Amino acid sequence: FNWRAEAQEMVKTQIQKRGITDTIVINILKQTPRHEFVPSDIAVHAYSDHPLPIGEGQTISQPYIVALMTELLQLEGQEKVLEVGTGSGYQAAVLAAAADRIFTIEIVKVLADRARETLDRLGYDNVVVRWGDGYQGWPSQAPFDRIIVTAAPEKIPPALVDQLKVGGRMVIPVGSFWQELKVIIKTSETEIEEKSIIPVRFVPMVYPESPLPEYNNN
């Protein structure tokens, strides 16, 4: 199983062919071992052109969507990024190679623990994984230069807008059954600019059935 050849082919046929041109994103996707972030019994499919199940009713996004969302963030290398919805940890690994510090929140504890273990094992030392309610963001680490959300809320969470720096960008799928991938730019403390990019299908954002331990949300 030559994963580097698989990753190269994935980037050529799925990413570049669909118009992704950011060379930083392209190079990172060639070098990130996607198979490490999926269950071992489906690792052979890790570089295929579709989402894959990672357990607990959650998925790892299609490679193209990871590439598109990362490109839309317009990372230059020095940013502090909040990710809502760690899932497998793959998107966090991609972000870790493109930005300075990544703070990522996952509401499903077993996935948070597994992603933390995988990222630690692979040496991603600029990623902090937390089990918590991402809808509330991460107030104690705010403000963020960039925010990326990998599950779909029905509307843009106000707490995330509050925690975005003025001039910062958020990439987020919004909607219930039909969703739009949006870029939100915070133009002032009270105003945002919103752009719709493409229709998408993400798993819905999960909300806690009861409040999570307080330490998870500060």
Catalytic residues: 61
**Angle at CA of residue 162, ends 66 and 108, nearest 5°:** 50
Tell me how far apart the alpha carbons of residues 6 and 9 are, in angstroms, rounded to a whole number.
5
Contact 107, 133 (CB under 8 A): yes
Enter the tokens of residue 185.
């730019």
Q: What is the DSSP letter of 16?
A: I
The pair phi, psi for residue 188, each rounded to 5°, is -160, 180
The string of DSSP letters for 160-199 reads: HHHTEEEEEEEEEEEESSSEEEEEEEE-SSS-EEEEEEEE
Residue 17 CB: number of other CB atoms within 10 A? 10
Enter the tokens of residue 208.
């806690």
